Amino acid sequence: MATRVTVLVENTAGAMFRVRAEHGLAFFVEHDGHAFLFDTGQRGTVVENARSLGVDLTRAEAVLLSHGHYDHTGGLRAVLEELGRGIPVYGHPDVFSSHYVRDSRRELPLRYIGIPFRKEELASLGAEFRLGREAVEVFPGVWWSGEVPRHTEFEEGDPRMVVVEEGGEREDPILDDASVYLVTPEGLVILLGCAHAGVINIVEHARSVTGVSRVRAILGGTHLGSVPERQVRATLEALEGLDFDLLAANHCTGLEIEAELRRRFGSRFAFAPAGAVFTF
């Protein structure tokens, strides 16, 4: 059976799809007879867009979370209410950390960007949390990455991100950043949430976890729009060394970087607004 990835939520929306855009990301994934959600967007838009696209969310057998930011988890309550039953929710133990973002000019107060719900509330609606740091094969050929090791020297992350604790604030490495690795006959399809761990770190981790070396496709947020220029340049150079068929970067990638990716990779790059469907 083919692998099918439907973009349910993204910052932009394809005009022909009759869906709404919002700052966030959510994928509905079908792979080898199984279906699941990867992230849930910022609000209940994920449910509305699924209906508009004819996607039956009740087919989802699990929810996989990329990290604990509001624009990836804010639709979780609406999804649970739509399902009306218990469902496994995979995430990192830090997914409920007190994630904040700092104004780059340090002129404004810290802004909370974490999950907008209490864990207990979501559990009462059916979320069966399965929190861990290690990679998990959720279904055959479907891996939730768990915590991704940081090995490259150039993937520094976003210096604006902070965690607020009793002792004050500290830089947030966003260790809860996770991705999804789909094993297909022609290679890996890697789904990114925001790639806070670094796109290349994620690629190398996917290869290590699955034992598959070829990267067939990369879809999702790269966060290259909010990192130092040095990291952008090094990441683009590393991507040029990958023999991928498709790069569909969206969300936190930013339009400027997306335009550069289109220039560099031509027809191997695709925009991925809400409503877009990719089949492998």
How confident is the prediction for the chain on average, in pLDDT? 96
Segment 10-38, tens digit of pLDDT:
999 987 889 999 999 999 999 999 999 99
Task: Taking residues 194-214, report their average pLDDT.
Answer: 99
pLDDT at 62 over 80: yes
Q: How confident is the model at residue 177 (pLDDT cuts 50, 70, 90)?
A: very high
pLDDT at 256 over 90: yes
pLDDT for 15 equals 79
Superfamily of domain 4-279: Ribonuclease Z/Hydroxyacylglutathione hydrolase-like (3.60.15.10)
Give me the DSSP letters along 142-210: EEE--SPP---SS----TTEEEEETTEEEE---TT---EEEEETTEEEEEESS-TT-HHHHHHHHHHHH
Segment 109-141, tens digit of pLDDT:
899 999 999 999 999 999 999 999 999 999 999
pLDDT at 92 over 90: yes
Give dist(CA 77, CA 55) in Å, integer: 18
Give dist(CA 199, CA 10) in Å, integer: 19
3-class SS of residue 89: strand
Q: How many CB atoms lie within 10 A of CB 63?
A: 25
Nearest residue to 199 (alpha-carbon basis) of 161, 163, 237, 256: 237
Q: Token pair of 212, please?
A: 């598959």
pLDDT for 104 equals 72
pTM for the full model? 0.97
pLDDT for 235 equals 98
pLDDT for 244 equals 98
pLDDT for 1 equals 64
Task: Taking residues 164-168, report their average pLDDT.
Answer: 84
